[in-house]
Amino acid sequence: MSTFTQFKIGNDIVTLDFPEISHVKSLYETINTDYLSLRRWLPWVDEIHSIEDESKFIEMARKDIALNKTIVTTILINGKAVGIIDLHNISRKNMRAEIGYWISKDVQGHGIMTESVKRFIEVVFKELNLHKLTIIAESDNNKSRAVAERLNFEHEATLKEHLIYNDEFKDLIIYSKFFNR
């Protein structure tokens, strides 16, 4: 197991680990249990039909990490995998990247995601010498937007009617955070 960062919230030990095959079963169970709520915000959920599908994702993530294309971390609470934080669309030339995240409904509302993203961005800003991080959330995704706002990401733009979900156009909110600004 390779730890990205670790901290404590209340009596819980929260660890951000690089993805391991040992995380697959717990992540798949979470995706399966929270399918409807995750699917609402994350279209890739429809592609995860089995433990094998989640295993393929972990294998792909590990390869992309090795190629410096992305950074993916599994959120573990007391050793149990409950979500993911990733850095994607990394542009070393422009010194920017995007953050994505999701977490089990069972552990939402305790500050775990906000603190996890905070710790994640501290490491990536420092280690990757980035200038800008972006979080993109659907305007109706109040929980995801709240994480960005609690971490003092700036509302940079609203992309009007940018996505279609259930035959309805949805707006996307772009949040940004700058390093050394």
Angle at 75 between CA 72 and CA 79, to 5 degrees: 130
Q: Which amino acid is at 136?
A: I
Confidence of residue 181 (pLDDT cuts 50, 70, 90): low
Residues 84-123: tens digit of each pLDDT: 999 999 999 999 999 999 999 999 999 999 999 999 999 9
Cβ distance 6 to 12 under 8 Å?
no
Whichever domain contains 97, its CATH number is 3.40.630.30
Range of the domain at 80: 3-178
Tally of structural domains, the chain: 1
> CA-CA distance, 160 to 158, in Å (whole number)?
6
* Residue 152 φ/ψ, nearest 5 degrees: 60, 35
Confidence of residue 16 (pLDDT cuts 50, 70, 90): very high
